[in-house]
């Protein structure tokens, strides 16, 4: 039995006088023991500890304690959750639900991080460290500036974009009575899968089973509308030879980008487009990738990913292209920016 499960069982027995009395196991929990486990933080701020933490400190703590799963910029690694990005995607076929785009209460983030993170070492963070991490997540979602400090005093002043996106569940009063009046006449003898979901492909197909003849002859059509950026009229800029040493250093910096972008042979679009040949290419020119409206507009204006534009974008993506889907805050070191551009030059 796992250590975690043992802990849960022990806590349940301690906190349950009924179990202690009927089963003869454990004892009723003492008030101070209950208080040690009672870490709930409510949306109105009840339960928040006194403390504070700023974005810059949060970035360092996040890099050490969280980035291995959630990425350096809260963009997510592999199947671990993305914590930033996804603004204005909740009405899409495949919405990106992050702390910034979806969560209605900031208290949920603080409560969960304080209670359950880092993975495998829960409750090892101090209250101030949790404030700093939450501040960095807000910054990664472009909700606060880089000099922002979060504390118990200004916690409720932070407005979450989707705060009005939830409502109280009133189905018990309005719908349960209808649901309980079930019709059980003229039912089908059997239920068969005849079509497959077009967008999400959620219908499971077990090995050895076949779909209907109708489905085999006429596959489901994906009706998702993808707006492809027009080809620019401006000719691509000639790319200068790259510095091999700087490119080698840039390859190391590019590790921060691999969660979303690929380069080289066999590269594929992921959360972000492939970056082969990006230096000198028209902005938003990958016909197989759906860009933000901002980058699509830059494409229509004939803008090019020359070194100056790349440097500006890598330093402050959201300043260069407001509304970009890029979730990271930008590279802080000028040398890192120069080196990564040299590396991208080598990936033609």
What angle in degrees, to the nearest 10, is found between the helix axes of 106-116 and 127-140?
A: 130
Write down the pLDDT at residue 189: 79
Check if CATH label 1.10.10.410 holds for domain 244-345.
no
**Distance, CA of 152 to CA of 150 (rounded, Å):** 7
In sequence order, what DSSP letters do the residues of 139-190 get, joined into one string?
HHTTSS-TT-EEETTTGGGPPPTTTTS-----HHHHTHHHHHS---SS--S-
Reduce the DSSP state of residue 54 to 3 states and report it: strand
Q: Where are the beta strands (DSSP E) in the chain?
A: 52-54, 149-151
Structure tokens at 163: 């705060």
Closest CA to 271 of 250, 252, 290: 290
Closest CA to 94 of 241, 224, 4: 224
Compute CA distances 16 → 6, 23, 31, 37, 257, whole Å: 15, 11, 12, 14, 49
Closest CA to 103 of 160, 149, 187, 54: 160
Q: Which helix (H) or strand (E) holds 136?
A: helix 127-140
Reduce the DSSP state of residue 69 to 3 states and report it: helix
Compute CA distances 286 → 146, 278, 281, 297, 312, whole Å: 32, 10, 9, 14, 20
CATH of domain 48-202+211-225: 1.10.760.10
Neighbouring CB atoms inside 10 A of 159's CB total: 8
Within 8 A by CB and 6+ apart from 68, the residues are 77
Indicate the burial class of 33 (C-beta count within 10 angstroms; 0-12, 13-18, 19 or more): middle
Q: Strands 52-54, 149-151: parallel, antiparallel or unpaired by DSSP? A: antiparallel
Low-confidence ranges of the chain (pLDDT < 50): 1-2, 5, 13, 15, 200, 211-229, 237
Q: What is the dihedral of CA 338, 343, 347, 348, to 10 degrees?
A: 40
In sequence order, what DSSP letters do the residues of 61-87 get, joined into one string?
HHHHHTHHHH-TTS---TTSPP-S--T
Closest CA to 50 of 110, 107, 128: 128
Write down the pLDDT at residue 203: 54
Phi and psi torsions of 86, nearest 5°: 80, 10
Dmax of the chain from CA atoms?
82
Domain boundaries in the chain?
Answer: 1-38, 48-202+211-225, 244-345
Q: Tens digits of per-residue pLDDT, 140-186?
A: 999 999 999 999 999 999 999 999 998 888 888 888 777 766 667 77
**Distance, CA of 227 to CA of 293 (rounded, Å):** 10
Closest CA to 102 of 91, 90, 113, 92: 90
Contact, 100 vs 142, CB < 8 A? yes
């Amino acid at each position: 039995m796992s250590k975690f499960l043992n802990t849960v069982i022990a806590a349940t027995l301690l906190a349950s006088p009924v179990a202690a009395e009927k089963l003869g196991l454990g004892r009723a929990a003492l008030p101070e023991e209950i208080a040690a486990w009672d870490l709930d933080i409510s949306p109105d701020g009840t339960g928040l500890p006194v403390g504070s933490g700023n974005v810059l400190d949060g970035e360092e703590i996040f890099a050490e304690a969280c980035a291995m799963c959630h990425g350096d910029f809260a963009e997510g690694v592999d199947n671990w959750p993305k914590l930033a990005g996804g603004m204005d995607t909740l009405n899409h076929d495949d919405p990106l639900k992050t702390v910034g785009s979806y969560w209605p209460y900031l208290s949920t983030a603080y409560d969960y991080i304080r209670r359950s993170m880092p993975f495998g070492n829960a409750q090892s963070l101090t209250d101030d460290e949790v404030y700093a991490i939450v501040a960095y997540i807000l910054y990664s979602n472009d909700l606060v500036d880089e000099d922002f400090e979060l504390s118990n005093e200004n916690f409720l002043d932070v407005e979450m974009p989707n705060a009005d996106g939830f409502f109280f569940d009133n189905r018990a009063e309005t719908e349960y009575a209808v649901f309980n009046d079930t019709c059980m006449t003229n039912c089908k003898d059997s239920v068969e899968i005849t079509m497959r979901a077009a967008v999400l492909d959620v219908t499971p197909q077990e090995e050895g089973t076949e779909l209907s003849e109708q489905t085999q002859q006429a596959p489901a059509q994906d009706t998702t509308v993808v707006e492809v950026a027009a080809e620019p009229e401006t000719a691509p800029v000639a790319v200068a030879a790259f510095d091999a040493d700087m490119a080698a250093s840039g390859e190391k910096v590019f590790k921060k980008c691999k969660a979303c972008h690929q380069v080289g042979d066999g590269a594929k679009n992921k959360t972000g487009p492939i970056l082969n040949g990006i230096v000198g290419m028209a902005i938003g020119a990958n016909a197989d990738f759906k860009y933000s409206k901002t980058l699509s507009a830059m494409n229509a204006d004939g803008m090019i990913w020359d070194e100056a534009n790349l440097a500006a974008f890598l330093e402050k993506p959201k300043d260069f292209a407001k509304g970009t889907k890029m979730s990271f805050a930008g590279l802080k070191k000028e040398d890192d920016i120069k080196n990564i551009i040299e590396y991208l030059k080598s990936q033609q």
